[in-house]
Structures are given as C-alpha cells and as structure tokens.
Amino acid sequence: MKIVFIGAGNLATCMALEMQKAGMTIGQVYSRTEEHAESLAKKLNCRWTVKLSDIHTDANLYIFALRDTVIPEVIAQVAPNDGLWVHTAGSLHINVFDGYNARYGVFYPLQTFTRNRRVRLEGTPIFIEAKEADDLKMLRKVAIALSGNAQEADSNKRKYIHLAAVFACNFSNHMYHIAAKILAEQGISHEVFLPLIAETADKLHELSPADAQTGPALRFDQAVMKQQLELINDPAAQTIYKLISQNIFSEKISHE
C-alpha cells in the first residue's frame, strides 16, 4: 500500500512515522511550507512537494492531515484519482469530499499531538468512516495495524467524541496551566503535582469519573472554598473555580 500525506504537522508526522514503523509505505508528503515538507520527507525517506498539482496520483490512500479550516480548499485543488481520500479531523463531516473524489472516508485518532513529542499510537482508538463498505474494511485494516484499536463512528457521533476530548484533554491541560501559575507565584515547580495528575488519570481504569471525584467542592466545604478563592489573584481563574465547584456539587446532588 502506498500512502500520501497531505500535511506535515504534528499529527501527520506522528502518524506517518508510526505507519512506516508498522510496515506501511509513505510515498510522498505535501506541505505548503517547504521546510516542513522536506523535514518530514527526510525522516520517511520519501518524496515531498509544496505544489498540490504535483501530488502523486497512483497512491492507495491519501491522508489529509490539516487544520479543519483549510481542508475544504485543499481538497478542491487536488486532482481526483482512484485512491481513498480521508481526513483526520474530529468535527469535520465526511461529506467534505463529496464531488471531489469517488472514494473517501475519515481516519480520526483520538489522541493529542504536540510538536517535537513522539506519540506511540498503540492502543489509541482510531475512529473510521467510509462512503463504501470495502473502503471501511481497508481503513479498519490500516487502523488495526497502526494501533490495534479500530472503531466505527459516523460524522455525527464523531463530533461528540471530539467535544468530549476537548473537555478531557484540552480543558484539563488548561487546568494544569492555571495550577502551574499558582505554584510559580510561590516559587514552586509544577513538577510537584505530576504524581497527583498521574494517579487522577490512572484510577479511571478502575472507577468512573463520577466515582473518582474528590475535593472540597464535592463536600461543598464552603470554608475551604472561600479561603481558596481569596488566594487566587486572577479574576478569570476565580470564575472558573466557582463554576467548576458549583458544577461538581450539582452533579453530586443530581445523582443522589
């Protein structure tokens, strides 16, 4: 199988390297930025281009690993071919390909990708969708080879999966950022809470998030919460503290 990557960012880099490790052939990389295209192509020992008109037309799979906002305009500029076109976005509908190529689908890894950090995809859920049943089978084989965890989800369900991921990953990381700022003001490294973060995540293998919840908000310990609010200097962080605390307690009450 020959694969072409359209995009050379964090997700494309991780996925392409992991696919190559799994024995798949990356034939070409496209990026509008020459430096990015050449850098990834060197790691993969494949060809690269910054011209959409120069994208190979003989590949089996074309992976559009780009920002959601630019995918439609890029798709419109790629010449139709016999390959299977997929995007990797959580909130973009499969029909974005409609009218541009006969075969298309979605290949969405539920994972976070950060520059200069290699992510191992083993076990990562990869949500797949395709216009045709045979292409869905093909994507399943690729996902199994890549992570061992292929799951079907249509565009509507995938939007909710992406929304949940924003809460679980992006928002939780912002909480870490706020916590790190509070500690930094006192000359304390954020590394002190790394074991706490690890245990918080690890216990979800055994408990539901609701059962794993702890803290003063769950008990609605007003004395502690009032004291902590007074320690927060940032008004926005104070608002976040109040809203989340109230939500935690409301969730507890609603399930009692």
Q: What structural domains does the chain harbor?
A: 2-153 (3.40.50.720), 158-254 (1.10.1040.20)
Give the contacts of 15 (CB within 8 A, at least 6 positions apart): 5, 63, 65, 88, 109, 121, 146
Confidence of residue 5 (pLDDT cuts 50, 70, 90): very high
* Whether the predicted pLDDT of 245 surpasses 80: yes
* Whether the predicted pLDDT of 25 surpasses 90: yes
Give tens-digit pLDDT for 169-210. Answer: 999 999 999 999 999 999 999 999 999 999 999 999 999 999
* Whether the predicted pLDDT of 256 surpasses 80: no
Give tens-digit pLDDT for 98-142. Answer: 999 999 999 999 999 988 888 999 999 999 999 999 999 999 999
Give tens-digit pLDDT for 44-63. Answer: 999 999 999 999 999 999 99
Give the contacts of 144 (CB within 8 A, at least 6 positions apart): 150
The model's pTM is: 0.93
Strands 104-109 and 61-64, sheet pairing: unpaired
Classify residue 7 as left (phi > 0), alpha (psi -120 to 50) or beta.
left
Proportion of the chain above pLDDT 70, given as a percent = 100
* Whether the predicted pLDDT of 255 surpasses 90: no
Q: How much is the average pLDDT of 154-163? A: 97
Q: How much is the average pLDDT of 5-33? A: 96
Give tens-digit pLDDT for 204-233. Answer: 999 999 999 999 999 999 999 999 999 999
